Structure formats: C-alpha cells, structure tokens
Amino acid sequence: MTRNQTVTSLSMMMATPVVLVVLSTVVAIVPGATPSVAEEIPAAVAAEPDPELDGFTPPEGLRRGWYARIETSKGRIIARLFPDQAPQSVAHFVGLAEGTLGWNDPATGEFLEGHYYDGVPVQRAEAGQRFEIGDRTTLTGDGTPDMFVDREGSGPRNFADGFRLGMTRALGGKVSAVKFFITAGAQPFLNGRHPCFGEVVSGQDVVRAITEVATYSNGRPLEPVLIEKIRIFPTANPNPIAEPKPFWPELNRFELREDKRRD
C-alpha cells in the first residue's frame, strides 16, 4: 500500500465509530495506553519501508523534496537535490541514476540503457576537498558520454559551504550532464563555474573518508572505491522533476585555454 493509499484508508476509517474500533485494534500494538489516531498516523507511515526502494526506509525529518541515496563501498550518502536551482543538472542525474535516460558509449558509439552509475568507481579524489564520479570506461575523467547542460545552478545554495554536489566542466567550458563531484569542504572558487545541484544531508563522514583515500598522482584511488548504486526518492509529494533536454554548448576560445588547467 502506498503512502497516499494509507492516509486515504485511515481517513475513511475515521468517518464512523464502528470502524474506529477496528483502527484502535490495529494501532494498539504496543502495550499500555493507546495513542490518539492523529498521533499514530504519522509514526505508522514513517516506519513503513518503500518497496520501490528495495526495503530502504528514508530517515525521519527530511524536508519536502527529492533525494538521492548513494550507496558506496565506504557507506551510504543521502543528498537533497536542487531541481529549482539546477533543473537540467538534476534531470540528467536522476535519469541516468534511475535508468530512464540512455546514453551512447563514448568508445563504441553503442546506445546503452540502465542504471548508469551502478558499479562505477570513483575516478578522482582530492584530500579533504572532493571526489568525482561518472567515467565508466577510462577512469581518467575523459570517458564520459557527450551529454551537457547549460550553465545553471548559481543561487543561494552554493560551494561556499561544504558537502555540495556539482557537475564537472569539460574542455571549452562545457558542463557535463554525467560527471559529478561531491565536496567535503567549502570551495567558493567553484561558484559560477559549476552547477550546484544538491547537498549532503547524511553521510558526511563517508564523503570525508572517500576524499582521504590514498591515490595515484592523477587522483585515482589506489584501492577502488565503488558507487554501488544511486537511487532517487521523494518526500512529501514534491513537484515533478523536469525532463532532461539535449544541449550542445558553443565553445569559447578563451575558456579553451583556461580549461587546460583543472579547477
């Protein structure tokens, strides 16, 4: 039974005294005084795992919105997404994570579908700063599909605070719609250059642990750190996420020179 069905059914039960007797029998599981119906409904709904999230129960106290559950080999990260601030970054991230958006393999050109990020290793980690995900093929950061978003994501929630999600940039100032990073500390110099499309609300210790792993000189972890899976879930019926739209940016000569250094 879904959350809406549960609330509707309970509302119907409250309509007549006869059904209220049945309801009190259902909720009086714990010995002692039976709480009121109004007090019991939120607790009962909050404790119910969502079968679409393979039994995962979202933490209590999350604000209304869209969230990403990021399962890694170091632990779980939960991030709140910013579809109002970075709509296309979120749309592409969600589509790739949930398997509703396909992509062309950068090596073969073959069109592929599925949960893009599942099983993908972290390709780069910087001590105390951030780590990057999204290259399924080369682990250099250059093996991602040619999918991009426009410059967006500038707003009050930005990289001046740590534990933010952002999309990376490619040569010429192009903003990837596939490859993203998670920061462990404040990095305000990223503002205006990378879309900020989410914030970590749980698992900050996991983010720190990933950024502190030993790496090769190019930042790739010596021991692979896997993104086991990413799944999306809503709380409190938020507005729908936008559909991902194809975008191909124009190259800027100045930024072609500037982006030869990594930010």
Which 3-state string (H, E, C) describes 115-142? CCCCCEECCEEECCCEEEECCCCCCCCC
Q: Is residue 25 located within the same domain as residue 79?
A: no
70 and 200 housed in the same domain: yes
Is 183 part of any domain?
Answer: yes
Contact 86, 195 (CB under 8 A): yes
In terms of pLDDT, which residue wins out, 14 or 56?
Answer: 56
- Mean pLDDT, all residues of the chain: 80
Cα 213 to the center of its chain, rounded Å: 22
- The answer on 187 and 83 residing in a single domain is yes
Q: Both 143 and 21 in a single domain?
A: no
pLDDT for 7-36, tens place per residue? Answer: 444 344 344 343 333 333 333 333 443 333
State how far the Cα of 183 lies from the Cα of 194, in Å rounded to an integer. 12
User: Is residue 13 assigned to a domain?
Assistant: yes
List CB contacts of 258: < 8 A, sequence separation 6 or more: 173
User: Which structural domain range is residue 8 located in?
Assistant: 3-48
Count each helix (H run) and each strand (E run) in the chain, helices first: 6, 12
Answer yes or no: is 247 within a domain: yes
Q: What percent of the chain has pLDDT over 90?
A: 61
**Do 76 and 33 share a structural domain?**
no
Residue 59 inside a domain? The answer is no
Confidence of residue 263 (pLDDT cuts 50, 70, 90): low
Q: What is the pLDDT of residues 151-173, one digit of tens each?
A: 898 889 999 999 999 999 877 78
Shared domain for 43 and 77, answered yes or no, is no
Q: How many domains does the chain have?
A: 2
The predicted pLDDT at position 52 comes to 59
Same-domain pairing of 21 and 109: no
Considering the domain architecture, whether residues 9 and 108 belong to the same structural domain is answered as no
Q: State the CATH number of the domain containing residue 91.
A: 2.40.100.10
Helix-, strand-, coil-residue percentages of the chain, each rounded to 5 = 25, 25, 50
Is the domain of 91 the same as that of 145? yes
pLDDT of residue 251: 64
Do the domain assignments include residue 246?
A: yes
Give the model's confidence band at 260: pLDDT under 50 very low, under 70 low, under 90 confident, else very high: very low
Are 158 and 34 in a shared domain? no
Q: What is the pLDDT confidence band of residue 224, given thresholds at 50, 70 and 90?
A: very high
